Chains A and B, each alone.
Chain A
Amino acid sequence: MDYAISDHGDAAPLAVKILIAGGFGVGKTTLVGAVSEVAPLRTEEYLTHASVGVDDLEGVSGKSTTTVALDFGRITVNSQLVLYLFGTPGQERFWFMWNDLVNGALGAVVLVDTRRLDVSFASIDFFESRGIPFVVGVNCFHGVKDRTQEEIRRALDLDPQVPLVLCDARDRTACRDVLLALIDHLMAARSHTAPHPVA
C-alpha cells in the first residue's frame, strides 16, 4: 500500500507520531529535544471534568481549572511524511486525552530512570493493556549504569519480546537509536502479522 497522497489536494504530508512516555522527570522532553528538528514545542490542554474527580485540587483554590502540558517535537521524514514525538505524562489523571495521543501513533518509547523505576510503571501498564507496541529506553544519566539489563527487566516485569535499550536522553544519536529500536520492533511484529494488514 502506498501512503502517498492523491486525494488531498495541496499534498499535505501524512503525520505519524511516536509517544515518549514515562514518569515525571525521566527525561522525556530531553529526548524529544535531542532528536527534534525544532526546539521542543509546548502545548496545553484543560483537564476535563472526567479527571477532576481524581485530581487533588486542594491548594490551588481560586483556580477553577487546571491544564496538562505536552511537549512535542517534529522530524520531517520526507515530503510525504512527518514524524511527531510527543512527550506524554504518565500519571493516570492525564489519560483522558490518551485516545487523542494514541491516534496516529506508530508505537511508544517508555523512558525509565534506574533510580526510580516505579515512576514509569504506569506507562508500561498502559501500553501493555492496550496492546500498543513499545520499547523501553533506559536513560543512563551521567553514564550511570548501576543495574544490569536483566535486573531492570525483572524489576519492570517486562515481556521478553519488548526491547530494552540503554541511552542518554541528551544524546542525539543515542535517542535516534532508541527510536530505531522501536521501528525495528514494529517491523518484526509486522512481518509476523503480515496476512493482516491494518494500515
Chain B
Amino acid sequence: MKHWTEGFDDDDADESLVRPYTITGGRTTSERNDLTLITLVTAISEVSSEAERRLRRMQPEHRTIFALCKRPLAVAEVASALNLPVSVTKILIGDLIETGQMRTRPPLAFAQAGGIPDMTILEAVRDGLRNL
C-alpha cells in the first residue's frame, strides 16, 4: 500500500507564516470558541443575495470553504483540505457563519461531563464498525 505521505508536495515547507494571518486580515484567534475539530459545517444552499455579495468580497479561501461544504464537513476536514492550521480555518469558517452562509452542528460533550454516550449512539457505532 502506498504510504499516504507519498505525493505530498513539500514545496511550501518553508512558507512564511505571514500568509495564513493575511487571509484572516491579521486576526489570530477566532471570536467564536464554539467551533471544535469535529463541528460539522454545511454551506447554506439558499443564501440571500446580500450574503452572495459578501461572499464575493471575501478571500478566495472563504469561497473554497463554501464550495467544499456543499456536504457537511468537519472543521478538521476543511482545515486539511485547505492546508491551513485549524485556528486559521476556524476564523474563516466563523466569518461565513457570521454572514449567514453556513450552519454548524456541534458534537455532544460526553467526555468532559465524565459521561458515557447514549446507548443508541453506541449501538449505531458498533453496528457501523461491524459492517467494516
A interface, CB within 8 angstroms of B: 1-3, 5, 8-10, 12-17, 29, 33, 35, 39-46, 64-65, 67, 70, 72, 74-78, 80-84, 86, 99-107, 130-133, 172-173, 176, 179-180, 183-184, 186-187, 189-190, 193, 196-199
Contact = CB atoms under 8 A, between A and B. Distances in A.
B127 to A, nearest CB: 8
B36 A1 contact: no
A187 B39 CA distance: 24
Contact of B118 (A64, A104, A176, A199): A199
A176 B131 CA distance: 10
A78 B124 contact: yes
Contacts of A104: 36, 38, 106-110
B26 interface: no
A106 B111 CA distance: 7
17 contacts: A8-B105, A12-B40, A12-B42, A14-B107, A15-B38, A15-B105, A16-B108, A45-B87, A72-B80, A75-B129, A77-B124, A77-B127, A84-B37, A101-B37, A179-B129, A180-B129, A183-B126
Contacts of A46: 85, 87
Contacts of A133: 111, 116
Contacts of B106: 104
A72 B121 contact: no
Contacts of B39: 15
A186 B38 contact: no
Interface residues of B, number: 48
A176 B130 CA distance: 8
A162 to B, nearest CB: 15
B76 interface: yes
Contact of B85 (A44, A179, A198): A44
A106 B126 CA distance: 12
A64 B18 CA distance: 11
Contact of A41 (B72, B77, B111): B77
Closest 4 CB pairs of A and B: A104-B107, A198-B115, A77-B128, A199-B118
Nearest to B3: A33
Contacts of B118: 1, 3, 197, 199
